[in-house]
Amino acid sequence: MNAPSLSARLLAADDRRLWLGMAGCAIAFLVVVPMLNLAMPPDSALHMPNYMVTLLGKYLCYATLALAMDLVWGYCGVLSLGHGAFFALGGYAMGMFMMRSIGARGVYGNADLPDFMVFLNWKELPWYWMGFDHFWFAALMALAVPGALAFVFGWLAFRSRITGVYLSIITQAMTYALMLAFFRNEMGFGGNNGLTDFKDILGFPLAEPSTKLGLYMLSALVLGLAFLVARFVVTSKLGRIMMAVRDAESRVRFLGYSPTWVKLFGFTLSAMLAGLAGALYVPQVGIINPSEFSPANSIEIAIWVAVGGRGTLVGAVLGAFAVNGAKTWLTGAAPELWLFLLGALFIAVTLGLPKGLLGLWGQIRRKEKAHA
Amino acid sequence: MLDDKFEVQVDEPHGPGVPAAGSILYLDGVSVSFDGFKALNALSLILAPGELRTIVGPNGAGKTTMMDVITGKTRPDEGDVLFDEKVDLTRLDESEIANLGIGRKFQKPTVFEHLSVFENLELALKADRGAFATLMFWLSGEQRDTIDATMARIGLADKSRHLAGALSHGQKQWLEIGMLLMQDQRLLLLDEPVAGMTDSETEATAQLILDLARDGSRSLVVVEHDMEFVRALGAKVTVLHEGSVLAEGTLETIQADSKVIEVYLGR
């Protein structure tokens, strides 16, 4: 672990195009969007309305989630169909903090208990809500709980050499079981309704456009940071071992590597990134409930990554924006068609574009070069 | 990573003393059956440190199963498999055995097709195998030189950045041998290393194997069908038949053995 490795690897191993692209995205998301929102008069055609800023903030969280998915699916070859659970757990951690921040401003005016607990006639705060008054604790839990779940779940599964479709099925079962558990009022997470009616975060009122813009910009920063972390991992020797595990797991064993630990590293890191995305998502949408655990949500994440192009990181981000953009548009224009389109998209990508949009782009460029 | 718990007392079918003493690999009474088919039938084999051994035998004789047992891919139903006199290989998994110093080249060349030739060798390079160590790994100039030297040795120096999947069959065989060299193992198991090679490639491979055997620092077990190749290696030959040893000796003695002629050459 010698000193030059970090900076040298981040700079040397990559082509300039990537860094130019990142700089371009940073300017677009962190300078142009805020300017269009703040500096343009509301009646101008160039003005970006507040709801659009929050929508973009949501997409940025989805993109971070897709990045996490790509790390584990595109590089380690582990098709997790339960990543929505890690996202939701991160969201619940942040939701619990915001619930505690409401204090006596709830419907029942109870400073010690969230409204739903008063409604259930609970007398005191359950032990697992302790500490969520503090932002640092909630932020830590948003990473630690998904990370710990992934570590234990992954250790049991990978050690027993459960791979492929069997692993996908048990991850679906995991998120489904969590959904059923969180639906129960006795769990103490608000049951069916989940956690909502948040007022502010760290003293910033959530209804304020400036708070929304701030959360949006934070989401952009986190996506950039998550991208750098993921990039660092996949360009390391560990990243190449991940790809080796993906392509020929048993062969890797004979080289003396343990695929269990390689996959466990990827799975746990990925779950923590997903938790982080969830923690940023919930303040922007104002609610977290058990439907976030639904198996269909997790499958949708895999579709984002497949559409963008897995095993590329950039493709995952692209896919999250493309599919969610289409979803926003179509659920407004023709809501009954959305699920059909999503299914058709998945089939089309699987059959026609195994490398996703990014692969298509590469093909077009190669053709142009061949003609030139 | 090896505790005392892996060191076992072997039973002593051959009389007093430690039967595995002075061996690098010791198989005694090893049996494996798949659905009633005895792939290995009380197989016993002793390999001395620094020895080069060729193993021949008709299809289904148990050659590959024997390698599977030694490398931890298959657990034997009974019998002792000891490495370096006292390490019980039947209790270790594939990666632990690889880290002990046993390397394997598969019958069907298996390289990582989406990685370059250089990256394949880098993964095989002897270094800390832990997840965090590999995350922070930074190739030193010395290690780069080792990889370059190996690429030159296996004739792939100009293919450094080529994807392994794009290599010819023979080149993949060589790359896999190169990966074994990078691991710097004490015992090398080569399953049909010249299958699919041209005559000149076969000759070069024989030369490479003889080079590896010459300094005596490593032991090699070569499974091969190609009799010309076996002759070129000029090593002690073990003939396997129906999961156990039929005969052992120089190629000349083997070829004169009536049992061998009957089951093998006679076909």
- For A294, A349, B123, the CA distances from A322, given in Å and listed in that order, are 22, 13, 36
Using CA atoms, how far apart are residues B171 and B154, in angstroms rounded to an integer?
Answer: 8
Nearest to A5 among B99, B123, B138 (CB): B138
Q: How many domains in chain A? A: 1
* CB contact B251 to A (< 8 Å): no
Quick check: helix, strand or coil at residue B82? strand
Mutation pick from A160, A231, A236, A237 vs chain B, by most beta carbons of B within 10 Å, is A237
Among the ranges given (A5-14, A161-170, B205-214), the one the predictor scored with the smallest mean pLDDT = A5-14
CB A138 within 8 Å of CB A97: yes
Instruction: Pick the closest to residue B263 from B241, B234, B236 (CA basis).
Output: B241
For residue A35, how many C-alpha atoms fall within 13 Å in the half-sphere facing its CB? 6
pLDDT tens digits along A20-29: 888 999 999 9
The residues near A232 (Cβ < 8 Å, ≥ 6 apart) are A6, A9, A10
Mean pLDDT of A359-372: 84
CB B68 within 8 Å of CB B89: no
For residue A263, being part of any structural domain is answered with yes
What mean pLDDT, rounded, does chain B reach? 88
Contacts of B137 in chain A (CB under 8 A): 236-238
Contacts of B104 in chain A (CB under 8 A): 254
Look up the CATH number of the domain holding residue B231: 3.40.50.300
For residue A43, being part of any structural domain is answered with no
Tell me which residue range forms the domain holding A315. 49-371
The complex's ipTM? 0.86
Phi, psi for B3 (deg, rounded to 5): -100, 175
pLDDT at B227: 86
For residue A90, being part of any structural domain is answered with yes
pLDDT tens digits along B169-195: 889 999 999 999 999 899 999 999 988
Using CA atoms, how far apart are residues B158 and A18, in angstroms rounded to an integer?
Answer: 28
Say which amino acid occupies A300.
E
Nearest to B129 among A251, A257, A264 (CB): A257
Q: C-alpha angle A270/A273/A274, rounded to 5°?
A: 85
- Scanning A309-368 for CB atoms below 8 A from B yields none
* CB contact B178 to A (< 8 Å): no
Tell me which residue range forms the domain holding B111. 52-72+95-265
Mean pLDDT of B197-221: 90
CB A238 within 8 Å of CB A75: no
For residue A67, being part of any structural domain is answered with yes
pLDDT tens digits along B121-160: 999 999 999 989 999 999 999 999 999 999 998 889 999 9
For residue B149, being part of any structural domain is answered with yes
Q: How many domains in chain B? A: 1
For residue A22, being part of any structural domain is answered with no
CB B184 within 8 Å of CB B215: no
For residue B3, being part of any structural domain is answered with no
